[in-house]
Structure 1
Amino acid sequence: MARSAGTMKSLVYIIRDDYNHPKEVIDPVMARVFDEEQWEVVLTDRTRDLIETESAVDLVMFFTNGRPAGETNMTPDEQRQIVRKVKGGMGIMFIHAGLVLIEPDSPFYVELNSGRFVEHSPHHVEVTNNPAASFKHPITEGVEAFMAIDEHYYCQVDTTRTDVILFSTSQHVTAAGGWAHRADAGKVVALTPGHNPEALGHPQMIQLMKNGADWAVRQS
């Protein structure tokens, strides 16, 4: 499913747009992350578009839970359909609010170790994001520590089943800011920064997302 150098474009579904995380903030940043010569981009506010498509999707990015007004949350069976796509080779990335509404007994958490939002800082604060110093990872290659005024997310993640690649520190706490691992033939990436234009559009955050997307679709 993943592309090789010189082959056809990779297909990415980007699930975004809700009241607190509007497409007007996210879409311009995505245009900087995904080179149109290498990627075919589908922008949607519905997770069920991913479930219903017959296209071979290489990567999905969750910026929200993909439940527009009038729709219910994904059922466990619908999550399992996405889990099967990931285990079959599709990459999956969770960015900031994409980690919301993932329950501790959900297939995303139990089977993919997606991580899950627990709480965030009471207001926007200075958050410094540092790549993990203990080892090198392709997602943090070329990425330097960066600070942004952001909504600091605190997430539950099983660190015994993933590589923590980023730590985020504010006046409140130091927490895992990014993690990545394999899930059978697929790959899972999560990054907690990115609530507002300053944080999501920071050059280092853009590099993290570029690297994460490339790593998630690379077979080697």
Structure 2
Amino acid sequence: MKSKVYIIRDDINHPKEVIDPVMEKVFDAERWEVVLTDRARDLIETEEAADLTLFFTNGRPEGEENLSPEEQLQIVQKVRSGMGMMFIHAGLVLIEPDSPFYVELNSGRFVEHSPYHVEVTNNPVTSFKHPIIEGIEPFTVLDEHYYCQVDTTRTDVILFSTSQHVTAAGGWAHGVGSGKVVALTPGHNPEALGHPQMIQLMKNGADWAVRQS
């Protein structure tokens, strides 16, 4: 039986033309049923269950307001009930420090990024083993380096990203109720998002997030 994944993507800075071809490499059609949308509210409004959701953008297309705390809590509850969740790059934007997405779900949020594209080296942690970074080698790409606020008391940092500006958390993962959450900060452009190591990170993250512990 296929697992259903909702992929929330497509805005002016992160167009579907960049994201969708990479998703075809991440999600094998024999294993996954893929639903593509630019609206986070589609996840709330559908009556069909999702096994996994990816936020590549904030999911608020032009003309729509930000998700309210009540709407965020509906998504948090889906994760607590067993849905996996992945936040990739711009999916970490517009998460407020007092919001359910930060306090109860992701434990991380975008704060700032490098003023221009820079070389970013992404290093998996070596102090412990985690399924998401199994087989992942350090990789360097020209990318928009994200700096995030991460509550390390509520998550495991699994990747560090280093540029000329700073070393920052590049990936983290944890459980929320019966569900699992993964965040990865690389991926602004085709080079970064489509790098073989980044593709493998997303594959590993998706498999881990839907695996029942």
Query: Into which bin does the TM-score normalised by the smaller protein fall?
Result: over 0.9
Partner amino acid, structure 1, of 2:137: E
Contact 2:156 2:174 survives alignment (8 Å): yes
Q: Percent identity?
A: 84
Shift of 1:51: 0.4
Shift of 1:160: 1.0
**1:180-195 mapped onto 2 (5 Å cutoff):** 180-195=173-188
Contact 2:174 2:181 survives alignment (8 Å): yes
Q: What SS does the aligned partner of 1:135 have? A: coil
Aligned to 1:36: 29
Aligned to 2:41: 48
Aligned to 1:116: 109
Contact 2:107 2:154 survives alignment (8 Å): no
CA distance in 2, matches of 1:37, 1:113: 29
Partner amino acid, structure 1, of 2:121: T
**What RMSD over aligned residues (CA atoms) do the two structures have, in Å?**
0.5
Give the aligned length.
Answer: 213
Identify which of 6, 11, 15 aligns with 2:8: 15
How high is the TM-score relative to the length of structure 1?
0.96
Aligned to 1:4: none
Shift of 1:219: 0.2
Identify which of 112, 117, 124 aligns with 1:131: 124
Shift of 1:113: 3.3
Runs of 4+ in 1 over 6 A off after TM superposition: none
Greater alpha carbon shift after TM alignment, 109-118 vs 61-70: 109-118
Shift of 1:35: 0.3
Q: What SS does the aligned partner of 2:188 have? A: coil
Contact 1:94 1:114 survives alignment (8 Å): no
Unaligned runs of 5+ in 2: none
Greater alpha carbon shift after TM alignment, 165-174 vs 106-115: 106-115
Unaligned runs of 5+ in 1: 1-7
CA distance in 1, matches of 2:49, 2:105: 20
**1:58-207 mapped onto 2 (5 Å cutoff):** 58-207=51-200
Q: After superposition, what is the alpha-carbon deviation per residue over 1:32-58, rounded to whole angstroms, capped at 9, x for unaligned?
A: 000000000000000000000111100
Q: After superposition, what is the alpha-carbon deviation per residue over 1:139-182, rounded to whole angstroms, capped at 9, x for unaligned?
A: 00111000000000000010111110000000000000000000
How high is the TM-score relative to the length of structure 2?
0.99
Q: What SS does the aligned partner of 1:182 have? A: strand
Contact 1:129 1:166 survives alignment (8 Å): yes
